Structure 1
Amino acid sequence: MRTHPIICAVITCLTGLVLLYGCTSLRNEVDPNLLGPASTKLVVTGFISPQDTVLAIKVTRSNTVVGDSISLLQTGNNVTDATVTLSDGSKTVRLPYNNIPASDTVRSRPYYSINARLLPIVSGRSYTLTVVANGQRATSVCTIPAAVPPKAIILNDSVNRRYSISIKWQDPDGQANYYQAAGIFRYIAANCKACQNEVYNTLSFDDDSRGLISDVGYEGGDMSSGRAFLTSSSTPNFYNYYKTASVTANLMSIDQNFYRFQDAAMRQRRSRNNPFAEPVLIPSNIEGGLGCFAGYNNATMTLKLK
């Protein structure tokens, strides 16, 4: 016997309602007050080096996990009333809150900071950071690695009239080492007669880790960064295009916490908005909170191109 189409539609709707009811009955209502702002943690971020002129620490609070309904009740994540101290074991300094307002060239900098001369950062020395706010306490320790100087800046042949540079250095043997390569391209264009000030372009390396490198497999050997293109597009007559041109390479020796934090943050950014990507957990070395407190040591070399 043939079933009437209307009867089929009714049966389908009833089946859907039964399934929907069965799913909704599995939901348990949770009192939002149990998951409110009291569950937040201190988030502490700071990177210090012997080259610093200012020691700066950023303190915020983590977002709640209940979504926008609670998050909208929070007036802001910056913690402005914390007690922040930094110690080298023999001397302890307090970092006051200094909110430098935004300008046309820089964003606002709501940091706890002091002049670096009040607590010099020395290679090989360990530093302890302590943050106390509203009954919560977060601490961390980092050790400043030794600087590793670049051996050479290599100007690579043009690829479709795009020139690039790479950094080479000798890895110290007998220890785990981590690096962050960076650089600046300075120039004055030859076709601008009125131009006197140099243009500064930050270089970005094209390797998978964007200049973040460990010495695994290279211990004690020669190491090299990926390429960093000097121009974003092809530049015919490269040398004739500039009145003056130079490249400054920055080779930062970073500690393991710096490396792990930046590596995880990079992988998380790559997987963002991809529902099939494996979740990336951001590591933390903050006891009693979240975030990263790490040390680095910067060494530079300049190559004059013209």
Structure 2
Amino acid sequence: MKTTASIKHTIWQLLLLLLTTLVLPACEEDVTNIKNLDLTPKLVVTSFISPQDSFLVVRLQTTQPAIGKTLSDEQRKVKNASVTISDGNTTVALAYDEGMNRYQTEASNLVLAPGRTYTLKVNTPAGGSAEASCIIPDPANIQITEINFTSLKESNEFQQHDFYRYELNYTWRDAPGVTNYYHALAFMKYKVNIWPEPVDHLSDLYPVQSDANFVRDESAVNNMLHSPTFTLYGNQEGPVPKPYYLHAYLMVTDKHYYMYHKSLMEQQQIDGNPFAEAKFIYSNMVGALGVFGAYYRLEASKEIN
């Protein structure tokens, strides 16, 4: 006669067998679904146009497959594609530059003007295609009104020299009645003594928060907006020689430029963090991944003697 313990053991074995029978088909179905995934590399298109640029530039590549063999940079290049940009009346073709790995043409071949719509079309030998449109923003009634600057000398008790810190921010007037997007940039230009004669040196200034220089007009007060504080740290060689020049670059951008760069910054901020929620990179391409956007650059400068 079977004991109570033996009967319980038999019941557990039957339950385990039943559970295995139910789970294995589900696993097999999952494997089948994975086999049906489309692992073909996707086309990626990136281009930003501006009336101030010397060239129209479009960059093409393919994505890295999520599963399978990693592609080399050479394998991800897209050559011999048909790439055109049109304003609706004039269409220009962009030629592939092997050295730069990009498609380009001189900007003089197509008039770029604020308020006009431009369409980018791409067709690849492999049958891929992409299309997107953008409007160059109108900078009318937008003006940089003030550049503020401070230079500070900081002593370090643990070292035998001083450090110099330069800070810059600026203010601009926003155009009322329209939605505007901005990318604020700044740099410093000064002379560096290199034999046989001094040469101009450009140093970028960076905001403390990496995405703080992307600004929307919803934060405007009385139609005025402010850049973040940009900072440049010097070294023990002494202060930057005077005279030097501060440059404020204000990119008046379309929504596509703004959303793409904003999402790219957010993705970079969580890179390597396994607990962070994934951020999707903005795309306005039809038939591919990537972005086609536009901007208009405004400039102001200040000389420090």
- Over 3 Å counting, the alpha-carbon distance change for 1:196 and 1:53 in structure 2 is same
Cα displacement (A) at 1:220: 5.5
CA contact (8 A) 2:242 2:304 kept: no
CA deviations 1:62-90 (Å, max 9, x no partner) are 22221xx3334895211112100000011
CA contact (8 A) 2:64 2:71 kept: no
Distance in structure 1 (CA, Å) of the matches to 2:221 and 2:87: 30
Taking the TM superposition and a 5 Å limit, the aligned residue runs for 1:131-150 are 131-133=122-124, 134-147=126-139, 148-150=142-144
Alignment gaps of 5+ in structure 1:
1-17, 101-108
AA aligned to 1:125 is R
AA aligned to 1:198 is D
Of residues 113, 117, 121 in structure 1, which corresponds to 2:108?
Answer: 117
CA deviations 1:234-288 (Å, max 9, x no partner) are 886x4xx414311111000011111111111101001011011111011210011
After TM superposition, the score normalised by the length of structure 1 is 0.80
Q: Tell me what 1:151 maps to.
A: 145
- Over 3 Å counting, the alpha-carbon distance change for 1:232 and 1:278 in structure 2 is farther
- Over 3 Å counting, the alpha-carbon distance change for 1:175 and 1:296 in structure 2 is same
Aligned residue pairs total 273
Q: Tell me what 1:78 maps to.
A: 77
CA deviations 1:136-186 (Å, max 9, x no partner) are 221000000022331121113537452211121001111111111112211
Q: Tell me what 2:63 maps to.
A: 62
- Over 3 Å counting, the alpha-carbon distance change for 1:74 and 1:110 in structure 2 is closer
Distance in structure 2 (CA, Å) of the matches to 1:213 and 1:294: 16
Distance in structure 1 (CA, Å) of the matches to 2:117 and 2:109: 16
Of residues 187, 190, 200 in structure 1, which corresponds to 2:190?
Answer: 187
Cα displacement (A) at 1:296: 0.2
- Over 3 Å counting, the alpha-carbon distance change for 1:176 and 1:232 in structure 2 is farther
AA aligned to 2:171 is K
Q: Tell me what 1:51 maps to.
A: 52
AA aligned to 1:274 is N
Is residue 176 of structure 2 the alignment partner of residue 173 of structure 1?
yes
CA contact (8 A) 1:176 1:219 kept: no
Larger Rg: 2
Q: Tell me what 1:224 maps to.
A: 226
Percent identity, please: 28
CA contact (8 A) 2:192 2:199 kept: no
AA aligned to 1:139 is E
Range 202-211 or range 44-53, more displaced: 202-211
Range 195-204 or range 158-167, more displaced: 158-167
SS for the counterpart of 2:261 is helix
